[in-house]
Structure formats: structure tokens, C-alpha cells
Amino acid sequence: MSAAPKYRRQPSGEWLGFPELNIEDIEPEAFKFTKHIAQSMVNNRKGRVYLLMEHDFYQRFLSAVRKRFGNIFASNVEKAALEAVRAWVEEVEAE
């Protein structure tokens, strides 16, 4: 009878259930070597807010993003939206 086949080490799986995941929580070395996969797994657990805006207001928003950041790349649109949400949360918490 031949020896049992040797398989690669499987991920521990403990971090799979973490509601909040950090890069440091991911133990398997394979994920650490592929930074983009590990970061994607972390980002998948982050909260999301989707906004529907009327066209006129959306154009005003994009103009404001362009004025502040110089362009309307997705990263800058996200920064602007997050900045506005943070300001609103801080205002509500201060009440």
C-alpha cells in the first residue's frame, strides 16, 4: 500500500468568520504573497453605501470632486463621498 498523498497545507479557516478582517488575520503564506487577493478578502468585509443621485446633483458632485482633487477618478469620488459621510457622522455625534 502506498503512502497517503501529501497535499499542500490548507488555510486554517479561522479568519473566514471574522466580521472585521485585517491583513494580519490572514495566516496562510500563499495569501500574503499575493497581496491583491488578501486585500480583496479584507475589502469584501467592509461596509458599503450606494447612493442614487438625480443627474443634475450628480454632475454638481462630480464638478466639486474635480475642483477638489483635479479629476474624477473613482478613487477621488470615493474619497470625496467618504469625507462627506465622516463630516455628517461627526456632526450627528456632536449633537
Q: What is the pTM of this model?
A: 0.61
Residues in the chain: 95
- Give the domain extent around 32: 14-43
Query: How far is 37 from 60, CA to CA, in rounded Å?
Result: 35
Apex 85 CA angle, 84 and 90, nearest 5: 100
Query: What does the DSSP 8-state code read for residue 64?
Result: H
Statement to judge: residues 59 and 85 lie in one domain? yes
Position 3 in a domain: no
Query: How far is 31 from 12, CA to CA, in rounded Å?
Result: 12
Statement to judge: residues 39 and 61 lie in one domain? no
Statement to judge: residues 59 and 88 lie in one domain? yes
Position 48 in a domain: no
Position 6 in a domain: no
Q: What is the mean pLDDT of residues 52-77?
A: 96
Q: What is the mean pLDDT of residues 30-36?
A: 65
Position 2 in a domain: no
Q: How many domains does the chain have?
A: 2
Q: How confident is the model at residue 46 (pLDDT cuts 50, 70, 90)?
A: confident
